[in-house]
Amino acid sequence: MRDAIRLLCLLLPLAACTIAPSELPRLDGDVVHVKCCRIPDKFPWVARFATHAWVDLRLDGVWHRVEVMPYGPEVWDRQVPETAVFADNRWNHPVHVVAFFDEAADASRIGAAVLRAVERYPYEGHYRAWPGPNSNTFVEWLSHEIRGFAFELHPTAVGKDWAGWGSARTSSTRTGIELETAALGVQVGLREGVELHLLGLTFGVGLWPPRLKLPFLPALPFGLRSD
């Protein structure tokens, strides 16, 4: 069963992946990973239910980690060793692979576009853990800005749907639409199912794969790894 899930995740980046970074293939070419893990325990207890998302990518043999952190709060583009990229834990919590893009999925173009997008992130210098903009806002924004960079962040990625005072756009998987305001939003899509976004929290029912989405729990029954 675990091998079947891993194959599904690698072939279909839009799937709800539950594999660990160490299970990803070690390819020679350019690759892009979207990952998440729980927020460190040093933050207030309510934040510990949320996840932090980031992008690891390799271009021309160099690994980059691109993310927004609460201390800065500029977008960080750091070179990291391969050991960090394939580590199964960060901040003493399991790391989860959200999406994987290789050369067949145009990883070189996507990776280069991610690095260029760092310079034009509209919320540079602004960070709010809740309701946003935060680290998840940034990663979700990348999915809307870069052609072919389609994925679905976990429902515990608080801030992923933050869009200022309001917006109407396609969903991050390109299979649906979403309407967002500062307090309330709704998203409907073939892969996302139906979601209600209330003050940055996600409530909904997913269609592919079938799952229940709650703000303080991973998507059920296809949730995050706990090992």
The pLDDT of residue 11 is above 60: no
The upper half-sphere exposure of residue 148, i.e. CA atoms within 13 Å in the direction of its Cβ, equals: 16
pTM of the model as a whole: 0.87
Write down the domain spans for the chain.
Answer: 2-220
Return the bridge partners of 143, or none.
none
What CA–CA distance (Å, rounded) separates 69 from 40?
12
pLDDT digits (tens, 9 = 90+) for 133-175: 999 999 999 999 999 999 999 889 999 998 877 889 889 988 8
pLDDT digits (tens, 9 = 90+) for 49-81: 789 999 999 999 999 999 999 887 689 999 999
**∠29-35-37 over CA atoms, to 5°?**
150
- Cβ 220 vs Cβ 203: under 8 Å: no
**pLDDT cut 90: percent of the chain above it:** 53
Dihedral (C-alpha) 214, 217, 219, 223: value to the nearest 10 degrees?
Answer: 180
Region 116-123: mean pLDDT is: 94
